[in-house]
Structure 1
């Protein structure tokens, strides 16, 4: 694993640097393999990044978009990660509909939906026992969670699946598992805010409990990027 850590002066600079990194990785994947597979994160931090990506001149037909996690709500629900990304980015560019791969949230049983998405992911990324996405974007909760891998939940222990059911206060979510995240060529955390400092100190500590701070589970085979604004970055610079 190659870990790169950058602290930017403010959130504007953080989003600009995140844009540069993501565009560079998209272009590299297309140059090397003819397409880029990217998984998106939810939350408020990446929204301006998606809005910035919508202004870029990229070969949209060669980009396939997935989601690293999703609340178990309809796509038009205000809490939908898919809905947010579509409004901020995907609906504003000429990306083919078949290149957008949202997590299904219609089944009565989220476990069935997780199986369906895993099957679909394997179909798109065929030929790999453990599929390697090119880019996975991740955020960080102030409790140390990432994707929908929450502290002390069963999802953290899943090693034999690509997609599983996460749990947030009794509400199911679909989420990438740690093995799928760690198979990626590039994992990019985009983290803003002083409220992340306590968790970051544990995540970057030499030893700490990954069941309590799940982002410690992210140790990809490829590059791991941590991009911070100054407020969040104080945790590792202080």
Structure 2
């Protein structure tokens, strides 16, 4: 099945790429162009990205883009509640692959907070994210279970996080994989992005997307929360 065969809702567009390298390069150019436009219009730009292994080639490619990086703020859609020196830290991943060379001049606003427990860390992160300007570009990924950011099916706080009027910017979440304790931006923050992008790779992810496009509860496949509004999907086999 090709992504062109999917019946996409109005406002959702799909771009197919030959391989992961081409996807990373095309996504980097798309994001850089949008950041330049935001800077030209408002004097600054905010980029929110997802972690995990999949975005690494994109981070490497974006770091090579010519941008006035001092006018860019980079933040995360979600974070594992682990110290920055932990192998699973999304912040460490972004610092290692994106915030290097000229891109190191960008401001970084992380979600990880030192606290006594996950709920306290979420409260501190919520206060920190209050400084985040409206999101210009959001780059999401998607798991085989239909989760995005750390909006996992069956997580205790999922329904609150998916409320369009959720008062919290950051909520604690529990993932089925280790490390299980996570922090995630909530739907109102994520859905406010001027340019929301979804990057996925492989037939399994395309099958998940196809299932998410079928009628069903958002809480069963949280990516559905982003499929009924403007969204640009980038996919490669």
TM-score range, shorter chain: 0.7 to 0.9
Q: Is the 8 Å Cα contact of residues 150 and 182 (structure 2) preserved in structure 1?
A: yes
User: Matches of residues 1-238 of structure 1 in structure 2 within 5 Å?
Assistant: 2-96=11-105, 99-125=107-133, 132-158=134-160, 159-169=166-176, 171-205=180-214, 207-218=215-226, 223-229=230-236, 231=237
Other structure's SS at 2:138 match: strand
Q: What is the distance in 1 between the residues matched to 2:12 and 2:232?
A: 6
Q: Is the 8 Å Cα contact of residues 148 and 175 (structure 1) preserved in structure 2?
A: yes
Cα distance, 1:94 vs structure 2: 5.0
Cα distance, 1:61 vs structure 2: 0.6
* Deviations 1:80-128 (CA, angstroms, capped at 9, x unpaired): 111111111203335447x111112321222222222222222343xxx
Other structure's SS at 2:93 match: helix
* TM-score of the superposed pair, with normalisation by structure 2: 0.86
Q: What is the distance in 2 between the residues matched to 1:215 and 1:94?
A: 29
* Structure 2 unaligned residues grouped into runs of 5+: 1-9, 161-165
Other structure's SS at 1:188 match: strand
Cα distance, 1:54 vs structure 2: 1.4
Q: Is the 8 Å Cα contact of residues 155 and 177 (structure 1) preserved in structure 2?
A: no
Residues 71-80 or 100-109, more deviating: 100-109
* Structure 1 unaligned residues grouped into runs of 5+: 126-131, 232-238
The number of residue pairs the alignment matches comes to: 221
Q: What is the distance in 2 between the residues matched to 1:220 and 1:122?
A: 26
Q: Alpha carbon RMSD of aligned pairs, Å? A: 1.9
Q: Is the 8 Å Cα contact of residues 163 and 176 (structure 1) preserved in structure 2?
A: yes
Cα distance, 1:152 vs structure 2: 2.0
Q: What is the distance in 1 between the residues matched to 2:105 and 2:97?
A: 16
Q: What is the distance in 1 between the residues matched to 2:132 and 2:26?
A: 29
Q: 1:68 to 1:45 in 2, by over 3 A?
A: same
